[in-house]
Structure 1
């Protein structure tokens, strides 16, 4: 920022005698916290469009409001299963009975009934289970080609419970001319992506993308229910300006809490040029090539006392090779060390069944499924020169998550993990990751959100240095403004969810935010670390209820409060993300 412009924070500091950096930061946090708490809470919730249109699909099928416990206690069994799948727009309501919406429905190929039916965890003649109905709902809602899903029991007089499965399709054909901007850099692309080919649930895509790193032409194929099974097949291929990317995955995961078996094979190859950054500028580059594979099988006894416990064995390989690139005459290349690991491993997973449904947390007017229970996973492998590794090493990966509170008022989501290896020379590439996300609902249209995340690294591989900047949460700064072995980021937002629904295509939200973060640790190409960085800003959020995957468009203005004079006074960011 220009030194000729007045610094409002310096003015406040002089007025209140807070010239030192820690005191100024504390005042900033206190000001934001008090302001967000006292902000007006008059924003309205969404108009419940998905609820009303789904209800319209059920027609005369009405539940008798018997509780799950009563149905299970009575020994009821499932009778008929009725599937009602609505098109993208509900032309039964006047607001959507328009030429444009009718045309879109006519073009769209609706999801086939058997695609929905094969994902249900219950069948006619089986004992009624409310848990299986709820989990089937979650599975259907996770499909990118569905806007919403609801499963309701309907009591009849023969001791059976008929079930109606109600879904609504999303618009899945996405011919795209994309543009994005973050951290002062533009990105764009053109292509198409069909997430529900001829209503089969199969995804195919062909895209060209250009960004600050590379130009890429990529193809993707994905079938999550190969041959009406739970087996997934995914293939990707990309020709890039600096190399290539290939991948193949065949897997039957633990698709449900009560799943008993899983297996999978994943193959990946990647060649590209990576960079080391300082203050958003490339300082060194190197060519990297990686080859990875993972073959595993797993088993479980299913759900017991609200927990699913799973066990895995497998063998994995991970090889990385690097070559230096001298950008300037006489400049010595800086290259990560080559490494190759081939190892058998064992693993465990624990998942607690404590799911809740929510709206207006991370999405706008869409049902969100969140697990407030505990999840834990651990994997340990031993790489040996006898297996083809270039050294002996013990490789460890763990992760744990836990939710607290409830989605209707306030909740806290905690996650942590450790990843690293033990070699003859000691710990290498050891990273500890953590994340805490806090949600406090003032009303259906107003939410306070705070997030603290970070990574602590020790003896981190040079190619695993972590960036911090406009593309990684510090919105007021250029891309990769800082880079180091560790980082921490605090984000505070006041979120608003309005009832504005332009053209019945997307819901509008807004946010006022502040980010505070820094990275640290040895970056061999960095100058003096600028220390703690802060920004404030505001923006619009456009959440599509019609398009697949429920992406949210972000349009933000962010103002940096620290950094050097090379940084623009304001950063304009446009992008599409998975959440608010």
Structure 2
């Protein structure tokens, strides 16, 4: 393979090494476990030739750090050798633990909150303190989360009785907070009485100030992004991005977002956004309250947005560049939801099922329309659903060892609505169902299906059928090396869609690293496979995993044609994934991919090296959300 990029050959070597490590993991998976030798009480010197590869590396680095050289002092400053691997406290399979039920309705006598800085501390061993220069310097630049912010996340208060699920749900809410790495809520069993408990809450921050950037020497274009996820330790979040020297209609783009979460312990959040890009502009303001907990009774939101968009028009065979049309509109949106729980005659036990109802109104006013298929309208939607939510805890799923909450359960919902437009009127109907199960020995399986359509004069239009299934295997371990497989299948089928409403197979929609503005269709089927080998290698908190993936996508251009009549597009690749759990940086992936079939009329290479910071897989929660129209994207 010839490449015009001189840095390509420097990246190929580590990628090939990662592929060999991943292949070694597969080979180890096929080996039968060896019998352990009988214990030998005699003492023998350590045979370094039999030590694990990573242990030999750390031993060599330890000896180098003891030398009084510049390199030795540098290694001693950035590496810590005397810390054994942490055991995750309380990592039971199911988050809703039976042992907590015995504390329901007891009075919280004492409530202590400990907040830890990002570097050098351990949530499972509070005696640990920062030791290296970089740990101490990082903490000096970080504003620790205030105890009041943690207290506002708790679903229980001091001197008040504990409601069912309050302990475990509070721990989950803390752990899912963006500026917290992990959280533990511990009941002091030694001081617990028949009517009161003492509770300890421990949280650990991430280094919330972060940023990223890129620069292309050939074109002079680049990107600068800055973020602060916990401004002054008060939970306010700021994100901004600036692009420059772009080869587009305008050389620059800018965007900014500001969020305030959980205002005054009401769990009401406010979001303000300003986006000024070449093909998309938005100004919006929203206040919202979700069904954040299984015990939440009310949820809702209200907001307004002004949007100018360059809508991609359907391609014709002669097109060599994409064609766009102007779309401008304002939107006012409000909704309210109410959850009802079923009665339980078992005192202290909280049933997980909820019946939820929601009502939503959307007022859309178009000022510019690229085709006649748009009209200003008022859409009123009503939904009723049944949700069973429960959560499990595991690790090495999408993070690198941090505790992760796995949603499982069932969600069934039905939506009906009526749209009154300037030109015509129509009804709307949708149904959705999803299911997921998890166990450490089986892995995780999620399946879901959604169908929605407008009905005008007994004719279906702008309909969509979407099905999805995600499975990941149990974690296979060989010492500090861990392997997990992911399989994702998705299908999206348009039903009498408008000509300008088309699907793509770019990146998260189908093939990783793939990009085509002209390749569009109305029906799409994709399958994605990925294997992650988590290595014990770490430097300054950055963890390393090797990635192997294979993607395949079918795309049809007609509303009634089957996507399987077309030759599929494919993508194969290997690469690395880096993440620092103590920083706000996103996961960084460097991947080398190969595409056997290329899009027509576009300059796209068979081999491509690209960087990605967005996760390709994610959980679908069983939380009831606002009533809405099934998305076609």
TM-score over 0.5 for the alignment? yes
Q: Tell me what 1:368 maps to.
A: 404
Q: Distance between the aligned counterparts of 1:492 and 1:303, measured in 2? A: 40
Q: Secondary structure at the match of 2:540?
A: helix
Residues 450 and 480 (structure 1 numbering): CA distance in 2 closer, same or farther, change over 3 Å? farther
Written as runs of structure 1 = structure 2, the 5 A alignment for 1:335-354 is 335=371, 337-354=373-390
Q: CA deviation at 1:273?
A: 1.5
Q: Distance between the aligned counterparts of 1:512 and 1:186, measured in 2? A: 32
Tell me whether 1:154 sits opposite 2:188 in the alignment. yes
Q: CA deviation at 1:459?
A: 1.6
> 2:100·2:167 contact (CA, 8 Å) conserved in 1?
no
Tell me whether 1:514 sits opposite 2:550 in the alignment. yes
Tell me whether 1:482 sits opposite 2:516 in the alignment. no
Q: Tell me what 2:201 maps to.
A: 165
Q: Distance between the aligned counterparts of 2:276 and 2:84, measured in 1? A: 40
Residues 188 and 164 (structure 1 numbering): CA distance in 2 closer, same or farther, change over 3 Å? farther
Tell me whether 1:255 sits opposite 2:292 in the alignment. yes
Q: CA deviation at 1:316?
A: 1.4
Q: Distance between the aligned counterparts of 1:286 and 1:531, measured in 2? A: 30
Which of 94, 103, 106 is residue 137 of structure 2 equivalent to?
103
Q: Distance between the aligned counterparts of 1:150 and 1:408, measured in 2? A: 25
Tell me whether 1:240 sits opposite 2:277 in the alignment. yes
Q: Secondary structure at the match of 2:512?
A: coil
TM-score normalised by the chain length of structure 1: 0.79
Residues 212 and 502 (structure 1 numbering): CA distance in 2 closer, same or farther, change over 3 Å? farther
Written as runs of structure 1 = structure 2, the 5 A alignment for 1:70-109 is 70-72=102-104, 76-90=106-120, 96-109=130-143
Task: Deviation per CA, 1:51-95: give whole Å up to 9, x if none.
Answer: 94987xxxxxxxxx99224444xx643221111111001258889
Q: Tell me what 1:308 maps to.
A: 354
Q: CA deviation at 1:531?
A: 2.3
Q: Tell me what 1:25 maps to.
A: none
Q: Distance between the aligned counterparts of 2:543 and 2:129, measured in 1? A: 15
Residues 357 and 53 (structure 1 numbering): CA distance in 2 closer, same or farther, change over 3 Å? closer
Bigger share in strand: 1
Q: Secondary structure at the match of 2:232?
A: helix
Q: CA deviation at 1:106?
A: 0.9
Written as runs of structure 1 = structure 2, the 5 A alignment for 1:497-576 is 497-504=534-541, 506-522=542-558, 531-548=567-584, 551-563=586-598, 567-576=604-613
Tell me whether 1:40 sits opposite 2:33 in the alignment. no
Q: Distance between the aligned counterparts of 2:247 and 2:500, measured in 1? A: 18
Q: Tell me what 1:11 maps to.
A: none
Written as runs of structure 1 = structure 2, the 5 A alignment for 1:322-471 is 322-323=368-369, 335=371, 337-385=373-421, 389-424=422-457, 426-444=459-477, 445-470=482-507
Residues 157 and 492 (structure 1 numbering): CA distance in 2 closer, same or farther, change over 3 Å? closer
Q: CA deviation at 1:212?
A: 8.2
Q: Distance between the aligned counterparts of 1:121 and 1:365, measured in 2? A: 27
Q: Tell me what 1:125 maps to.
A: 159
> 1:53·1:90 contact (CA, 8 Å) conserved in 2?
no
**Greater mean deviation of Cα atoms: 242-251 or 492-501:** 242-251
Q: CA deviation at 1:234?
A: 0.7
Count of equivalent residues: 512
Q: Distance between the aligned counterparts of 2:103 and 2:458, measured in 1? A: 61
Residues 219 and 563 (structure 1 numbering): CA distance in 2 closer, same or farther, change over 3 Å? closer
Q: Distance between the aligned counterparts of 1:307 and 1:163, measured in 2? A: 27
Task: Deviation per CA, 1:267-298: give whole Å up to 9, x if none.
Answer: 22211213247699633211112322221222
Tell me whether 1:206 sits opposite 2:236 in the alignment. no
> 2:508·2:616 contact (CA, 8 Å) conserved in 1?
no
TM-score normalised by the chain length of structure 2: 0.73
Task: Deviation per CA, 1:368-417: give whole Å up to 9, x if none.
Answer: 212210123333211125xxx43211123443221124245322111221
Q: Distance between the aligned counterparts of 1:373 and 1:50, measured in 2? A: 36
> 2:209·2:227 contact (CA, 8 Å) conserved in 1?
yes
Q: Distance between the aligned counterparts of 1:299 and 1:66, measured in 2? A: 28
Q: CA deviation at 1:564?
A: 6.1
> 2:25·2:533 contact (CA, 8 Å) conserved in 1?
no
Q: Tell me what 2:100 maps to.
A: 68
Residues 66 and 271 (structure 1 numbering): CA distance in 2 closer, same or farther, change over 3 Å? closer
Residues 496 and 352 (structure 1 numbering): CA distance in 2 closer, same or farther, change over 3 Å? same
Residues 469 and 50 (structure 1 numbering): CA distance in 2 closer, same or farther, change over 3 Å? farther
Task: Deviation per CA, 1:489-547: give whole Å up to 9, x if none.
Answer: 1011222111111212x211111111111211339xxxxx9621122211111122012
**Greater mean deviation of Cα atoms: 427-436 or 209-218:** 209-218
Q: Tell me what 2:305 maps to.
A: 268
Which of 481, 496, 508 is residue 533 of structure 2 equivalent to?
496
Task: Deviation per CA, 1:217-266: give whole Å up to 9, x if none.
Answer: 12211111123421111111122334621111112222221112223202
> 2:598·2:605 contact (CA, 8 Å) conserved in 1?
no
- The higher relative CO (CA closer than 8 Å, separation ≥ 6) is in 1
Q: Distance between the aligned counterparts of 2:53 and 2:165, measured in 1? A: 32
Residues 37 and 219 (structure 1 numbering): CA distance in 2 closer, same or farther, change over 3 Å? closer
